[in-house]
Amino acid sequence: MNGASREALAAARERLDALTDNTSVDAAKLAGELAAVTALLDREVSLRRVLTDPAQGGEAKAELATRLLSGQVGGEAVDLVSGMVRSRWSYSRDLVDSLEELANTADLTAAQQAGTLDDVEDEVFRFARIVQSSTELRSALTDKAATVSAKSELLRSLLGGKANPVTERLIVRLVTQPRGRSLEAGLESLSKLAAARRDRMVAVVTSAVPLSDQQKQRLGAVLAKLYGRQMHLNLDVDPTVLGGITVRVGDEVINGTVAGRLDEAARRLAG
């Protein structure tokens, strides 16, 4: 996002945090309402453009949003959206992207309040790995000819009663409302957003064998010291790495595997 949209999103995040810090606000209900507004503005392009038109006054846009949404969603959602349309946005699409992020953040906040945020983080990561390893499942979930109800039913058969309800809601929304993103990119975005709830970075750790609790604690401490932030470890086991571990933090890869060292030696020999 460009400067204006970044500032608008930062302000909206602060307002959402202020709302969900109040225990009387149902964060899960707010998430569903913000998701509904996201879907509305994603579908109604002309409305989205009116609500982000820089030539229109902020109060006029806020009043329009209030009239449209009052009675359809709760007062907290109306106030949050009205505040967002008062802000200046670089592109109309940025408003919808930001609303989607806030909806997901509200759901993750509900998990955090229930003490299950770690479970949601791990379940999103594991689901991403399952999708990555199953071409058939990925095809079914991304099939443009499949109906929303068919995809939702498939996901509920996979996740219902087995995953945290927040995990299920997040993944169902992502699959049924992809908004032009790949499934993999959407799942990675959810993983990063979950980590950000505790101001943590996500490290994807791949090892030949499962790490012991002591190894996980030591690795987490080393990475936290290296990056200056608390680190959440998403653990994956892959026997093909031949030993050692590889760590990916964002776009940076730290490769300490035997396979990685062999590949590096082969490249040096070829050069």
Supply the pLDDT for residue 213. Answer: 87
**pTM, full prediction:** 0.78
Residue 212: phi and psi, rounded to 5, are -75, 165
Q: Identify residue 161 by its one-letter amino acid code.
A: G
Supply the pLDDT for residue 258. Answer: 59
Tell me if 3 sits within 8 A of 90, measured CB to CB.
Answer: yes
Q: Across residues 177-196, what is the average pLDDT?
A: 92
Query: Which band of pLDDT confidence, cut at 50, 70 and 90, is reported for residue 204?
Result: confident
Supply the pLDDT for residue 263. Answer: 65
Higher pLDDT among residues 13 and 236, named by residue: 13
Q: For residues 253 and 248, what is the distance between their CA atoms, to the nearest angstrom?
A: 4
pLDDT digits 0-9 by tens, 42-82 = 999 999 999 999 999 999 999 999 999 999 999 999 999 99
For residue 54, what is the DSSP state?
A: T
Judged by DSSP in three states, 217 sits in helix
| Percentage with pLDDT > 70 across the chain | 93
Residue 228 zone, left/alpha/beta (φ > 0; ψ -120 to 50; rest) = left
Judged by DSSP in three states, 245 sits in strand
pLDDT digits 0-9 by tens, 230-244 = 787 888 888 887 777
pLDDT digits 0-9 by tens, 134-176 = 999 999 999 999 999 999 999 999 998 899 999 999 999 999 9
Give the Cβ contact number of residue 191 at 10 Å: 21
Q: Across residues 73-94, what is the average pLDDT?
A: 96
Supply the pLDDT for residue 176. Answer: 95
Mean pLDDT of the chain: 90
Higher pLDDT among residues 9 and 252, named by residue: 9
Q: Across residues 201-210, what is the average pLDDT?
A: 84
Q: Across residues 86-108, what is the average pLDDT?
A: 96
Give yes or no for residue 259 having a pLDDT over 90.
Answer: no
